[in-house]
Amino acid sequence: MTTTELLTGGLRIEAHKRRSTKASVRAARLIERYVIPLDQHSGLPALPLVKPADRVRMFQPIAQPAPGISAWLHSPVSGEVLAIEPRPAPHRLGAPTMSIVIANDGRDERFDNAAAVVSFEQISPAEACEHIARGGIVGLGGAAFPTANKLESSLCENGPQLLLNGAECEPYISCDEMLMRERADDIVFGARALLHALCAPNCTIAIEDDVPEAQTALRLAIEKAADARIRIKVVPAIYPAGGERQLIATVFGVEVPHDGFPADIGVVCQNVGTAAAIARWIRDGQPLVSRIVTVTGDGVSEAGNWETRIGTPFSSLIADSGGYTERMSRLIMGGSMMGTSLPHDDLPVVKATNCIIAASALDLQPRGPEMPCIRCGNCSQACPAFLLPQQLHWYLQPFDSEQLSRHGLLDCIECGCCDYVCPSQIPLAERFREAKPLLARELDAHLTADAARARFHSRNERLARLEAEHRAKLAEKRRPKGEPSST
């Protein structure tokens, strides 16, 4: 199979995956209390179905989706609901958010989910979609977008192409690689369910060229399933090849319109982890209550991948990994390029937690002092969105909204490539991240002003017209009584 390399820009960054892929995936230790934030997916927070002191069983739904974009939540253990209260959450950078706290009774009594196990070939695509929603399935690549909402946007209309994203380009994360190595069958099963739900003709699994074991495992699983619709596409291990828009360009050779979605060009992209989660739900009746989390970095004694129940505190995973080393200095959720750094480790694993990096100074390499931009252009060579970060940086000081929007600031994907290569050590990604909402708001204000102007104008015209009609009527009324009017 040939590799179309439409992706320009991006970086070959030294990978740090090896240290976390030595051991196979192990089950994280069970603990006494699990904290399940209600807003851990994109969209609206889920609405609780339980109240404090309720008994819940493992896999029991504990919150239902709010109308619109939202997702189901299930209990990862059996036990008692202790409270529904604000608790610090990693996706809120440690700020408190409404969460269900469950005390684990250690018995793992299963909720009767027999109805969940279905043969997907026997239900309609729309039913399959609804069924996937009930499993609490969200995108496991990091954004946690509810999968059913994504599928609904392009359901069966014209048989979109399915793209499974196994390109894990962030240099530290290895949870998808381990998943592909150890649970390739789940991925293939999930792929077939997704093909059915989308009426898609075929499925492409994108996988990077530096993970041969995962490629082999997936190929074997596809052979075993004997499904000719599923194929593997090897893509170069370039950061950020696994970004949805970048991957679509690399695999299909077409770009997603800047103001549109992959569905607009007939592509639905899902993470391989999402496919595996769908398999567990449809085949085994196990909703999304656990995921593989990579714990790595020079700040923990032993890096590895852990099958972790949602709600497990980071500190417990760190303890599983042998605790912090003396060199530990920064705690990051997600990758080293786009992850967020967190103030403490008393935070629960959420569905979006793919990786926890306990970074030491060795991992981080301190930034030098910031120097002025010399317009060297290394950043524009690296930019996968083909932007000119050097020009954007120039037009940020002072904020020139017209030029920023001409240069496409809002198309920045915040991947951090420009930042990585900048010889002047300018925190470009951070600057752009801050500036984007300002620009968006300003452009929005322009649109609102234009709309208000138009309404003001049409109202004035309407009032003038009504006034004229009114006068005409008055004149009409007067005429039969007296002499004909002069007009």
The answer to whether 358 touches 369, Cβ cutoff 8 Å, is no
Using CB under 8 A as the binding rule, whether residue 339 contacts other proteins is answered as: yes
Kindly tell me which residue out of 66, 229, 329, 438 binds other proteins, with binding defined by CB under 8 A: 329
Closest CA to 346 of 101, 20, 120, 126: 101
Position 342 contacts other proteins (CB under 8 A): yes
Which of 202, 236, 347 is CA-nearest to residue 12?
236
Q: Pick out residues in 156-185 that bind other proteins (CB under 8 A).
A: 171
Contact 180, 218 (CB under 8 A): yes
> Is 322 an interacting residue with respect to other proteins (CB under 8 A)?
no
Residues 76-115 that bind other proteins (CB under 8 A): 93
Task: Kindly state the smallest distance separating residue 209's Cβ from other proteins, in Å.
Answer: 21
Taking residues 210 to 249 in sequence order and writing x for each that binds other proteins by CB under 8 A, - otherwise, the string is: -----------------------------------x---x
CB of 469 to other proteins, least distance (A): 17
Q: E strand or H helix at 356, and its extent? A: strand 355-360
- Closest approach of other proteins to the CB of residue 436, in Å: 14
Distance, in Å, from the CA atom of 475 to the CA atom of 483, rounded to the nearest integer, reads 11
- Of 117, 452, 466, 472, which lies in the binding site for other proteins, with binding defined by CB under 8 A? 452
290-296: strand order across its sheet: 26-27, 304-309, 290-296, 355-360, 328-333, 340-342
User: According to CB under 8 A, which residues from 44 to 83 bind other proteins?
Assistant: none
Which residues, in sequence order, are bridge partners of residue 208? Answer: 235
Task: Rank residues 291 and 407 by Cβ distance to other proteins and give the closer one.
Answer: 407
Out of 313, 390, 396, 439, the only residue in the binding site for other proteins (CB under 8 A) is 390
Q: Is 331 in the site for other proteins (CB under 8 A)?
A: yes
Q: Which region, judged by CB under 8 A, interacts with other proteins, from 20-28, 99-107, 225-233, 449-457?
A: 449-457
- Positive or negative, the CA dihedral 13, 19, 20, 25 is positive
Stretch of residues binding other proteins (CB under 8 A), selected from 22-30, 159-167, 191-199, 368-376: 368-376
Which residues within the stretch 409-428 sit at the binding site for other proteins (CB under 8 A)?
411, 414, 416, 419-425, 427
Residue 112 CB burial class (10 angstroms; 0-12, 13-18, ≥19): exposed
How far apart (Å, rounded) are the C-alpha atoms in residues 454 and 440?
21
